[in-house]
Structure 1
Amino acid sequence: MYINKKNTFHVLIQSMQFSTKRLVYLLVFTLLGATVSGQEGFYANGSMNMAGQTDTLKVKVLANGWLLTDVVINDKTYTFLLDSAGPTTLTTSVSGHFENITSRRIIDASNHAEMVNYVSIPKLTLGKTTFLNIAAMQFDIKLLKHHGIDGLLGANIMAKGIWDFDLRNERIIIHKNNAFQDFPYVSKITLQANGTPVIKAKYFNKVKENVWIDIGFDDLFSLNGDYFKKLEKQALLKNEVVGYGNFAQTAFGASSGKFHLSMINLGLGNLTIKDIPVKVDHNPQSKIGVKFFEHYRTVIDFINKRIYFKPYHNKIDSTYRTFGFKTKVNRQKKLAVAFVWNNSSAFEQGIKIDDVILSLNDLDLKTTPISHKILNKAYRLKKEKDSIVVEVNTSGNFKMLYRWDILKKRN
């Protein structure tokens, strides 16, 4: 989720699709020309006031890894999704005495009109920490509102402090001072105009790239297609698998076609990770996602421009165990197949794009309205099982699927 400097705003909240690795909600608004005079200064506005040296926030970790926390604005508590790669954004359900900076009616490439307000929030409270005069965007994000999320807690707020992400204990600690000598791995970072942290990554100790740290991205690592081609040209990639379909279903269309899954050796400062599975995305920016934070307790020091890692366990699993398909909610508001990986159980069982899913094990989807709770239940069911029974297209047409490592060649 991000804003860039080329007059394009993307709010990424992934649409109704899930796989064994993730349940994601993605709404992509491509709003052309969404700029504000003096944009860098606009998002740099505001200050943070802490009562003590640290403040511990409880976070709710959704099945897909997304992080939710309570935010108080105008004495009312809202639920916000944390996103380190985009500006703070409010839905229209958030009310307060905001200073309106400007408003823009934006027409996107699909001729869809959207009114975006740029506002200043006089006071926003997280735990015992208060943020004053924070810049934000506000517009009608229906999909967020539908799922009970009132806004995005963005990089421009995080850039005011030092954030310690301890997901194993479902908490975030905001620090006033830097004291992380017990973290064995450290690297320098830079910040984008809106506060997005960027780390210099090295692939196979040869190829370097600036990578965004995006806790709003629900996976482990997404590799930019151009860098994938560079690594492929040098014959550095291992065990490549391809898949076909709609990789990301959006509000105005789908990112579709052929996608890749492979493994790389990744260097981040003095941290080296061998054989990390990565997806190759059409997104122009490689990203470290929130799944990485499940393996490493991570401190992002926005003030001193450092990032620290401490592993929860010995290594990241080098396998990519999946049933092999992703889903979407089709125009009839039914759960349907959006994407299938080759070398997977779904592929072998003949699961095809646009197949309608009628049930998963004992979860009946024939008459149950599709909702966030239902999809979350389906994800957890799949996450806990090594096999599932999927009913597709017609009543009684059951397919037994198994989860296995699709990066491993099968006989």
Structure 2
Amino acid sequence: MTGEHLILCNCPDGFELVRDGECRGKHAQLNMADDESVNVTIASCKEIGGIPVIIHDDEQQNYWSASGDGSSFPIGLVCNFTSTKWEWADGSPVDYKPPLGTQNDDLDKPCGKCSWFGYANGDWKKWCDTTRYSVAVFCSVRLQPPVPSADGCDGFVDDSDDGVCYQILDTADVFQGAQMLCKQLGANAASVHTAQENSFIRRLAVSRGAVDGVYLGASVSGKGYDFAWTDGTNWDYENFHPGFPKTGYGDCLAMDTSISSGLWMNINCSEDLPVACIRDQKEVVDPICSNETWKEGQIITSPGFPFNASTFCDYFLTVDAGKKVEAVIDLEANSCCDYLTIYDGYLGGNLIANLTGEIRSKVIKTTTSNIMRVNWVPNGAVNVRGLVMSFKGVLH
């Protein structure tokens, strides 16, 4: 299982994140008759949790008119046979008409078994025949913003009242990768300090399908096989399988989740295993832009991430003199309104990127400076999560 609150890019493939957390795009190309087009389109959009083209204002009208590549496309006007009035597929009223519509009067007449199409020139036209054509299906999908959980664990799982949250994350190919998975969620590979914690992690792992073992957050420290927790907490509990740790078996620690006691074994650090992560419960506070000095490898997020992305923030990412800054950017922003601007240098530097919409793992580098300035500039940031990034110094 992945950490749901860090995952960005929830729009269907090929869709654009446009406004208020709404993804828009072409879903399919289907053969359909004019009179059945709206029903086929509604069913097709439903496959991805979406709705057909619905237009209530000039922005939506202009966007969809420009999206059809010159071809007509079904829009989501349906007939309410009880009231005999046209309405949108989501039940909303027809409160907008195309400025240059040639059939606007028909929108006020009793409706029937017909379908409406949008055109590149902004017109809407009603068609009722049974001739079949290949038609582009456009849909919109609304992102569902995360809601802070009452226990402060937000995508993790709470174990009673210990103030700690747990999660089992996807398989990592090495222990270092497992640690990074946890750190991307503001967590650490799990340290275990009581039998209750050990039992809870084992049960959680099994419930997530991790039945062949999970990495724990410990590795060999110093000479011999003395283990230490990588989060720096005290080694005050252990649950090794009899005879473990064994010389030559490896310098990392795993829990055997196939048995109810959740016994530990030392393993090679290059094993492919899921990882148990742990973090403290979070208190939900008003988002503010931190003025802290950011460090290489640190996971940096926009203020309020992932629940509220509406606060401006200025970041100065600095590496050693003689090096350049390489940043990895993940972004969820409305392309109509919210932007991330990135500069080579911190005062009067060259603009090297202006990003919006959905961005995943985009690498941006400075070319002249060891400082990168990153501005998160939201204009509402409605129903989007904002920014996640990290950075490091590179020689070229």
TM-score normalised according to structure 1 size:
0.21
Which has more strand, going by share of residues?
A: 1
TM-score normalised according to structure 2 size:
0.22
Structure having the higher Rg: 2
